[in-house]
Amino acid sequence: MISDVRDAKQKEIAEVLKQLDMLTKMTGLPIYPEPKTGNPLWSDVRELDLRYQIPVKKISKFFDELKKGKVLATRCSKCGTVYFPPQDDCPKCKTSNLEWKEIQGEGEILTFTVISVKPPSFAHYPDYVVGIARFGDVNVTAWVDGPREKIKVGSRVKLDVSKREPEGYITYRLILV
């Protein structure tokens, strides 16, 4: 009896994951409407056994613009703090509805590291570089692509939006200028 329930549940989960994969292939992003409310949910595509879900309604504009190749941060109109990844609330001022601001131009690598011991959900990638770059008044943490020997503290970088394979989801990365 219990195993019947478990089998049915696993079938159901397999079906949902299949639909999610199709959706990701079609739209480029693993975002789908939550069945009850219709609010957009981001479903992580890297995890193999467990896919965690994060509500993204308040920052859905970020994903809409990402599809168009733009990377947005949010800015508090009261204190001017810029948040990236974007968030809809400023914890300093306790205000919401922050304004959107595109991260443009060139940034500068503040620090970086080569990841050779990877978390399980990244184990299928070759070694990669994760760096923090300063773009004016905001820091961006992301993968850094370019000739390994040329990545240095102070290197000029820009943001690039492209599909990351093999999952095929749209994401941003830093590339050497």
Alpha-carbon distance of 59 to 74, in angstroms, equals 9
**Complex with Zn ion: residue 81 or 121, whichever CB lies closer:** 81
62: which 2 tokens?
């970020």
| Total chain residues near Zn ion (CB under 5 A) | 6
Residues 79-98 that bind Zn ion (CB under 5 A): 79, 90, 92-93
Least gap, CB of 142 to Zn ion (angstroms)? 24
Residues 62-81 that bind Zn ion (CB under 5 A): 76, 78-79
Q: What is the β-pairing status of strands 106-115 and 156-164?
A: antiparallel
Least gap, CB of 83 to Zn ion (angstroms)? 9
**Complex with Zn ion: residue 92 or 148, whichever CB lies closer:** 92
Is 44 within 8 Å of 56 (Cβ atoms)? Answer: no
Residues 101-140 that bind Zn ion (CB under 5 A): none
Least gap, CB of 88 to Zn ion (angstroms)? 12
Least gap, CB of 70 to Zn ion (angstroms)? 23
**Complex with Zn ion: residue 93 or 110, whichever CB lies closer:** 93
Is 111 within 8 Å of 118 (Cβ atoms)? Answer: no
Q: What is the β-pairing status of strands 128-135 and 138-145?
A: antiparallel
Q: How far is CA 108 from CA 115, 139, 141, in A?
A: 20, 9, 12
Tell me which residues touch Zn ion (CB under 5 A): 76, 78-79, 90, 92-93
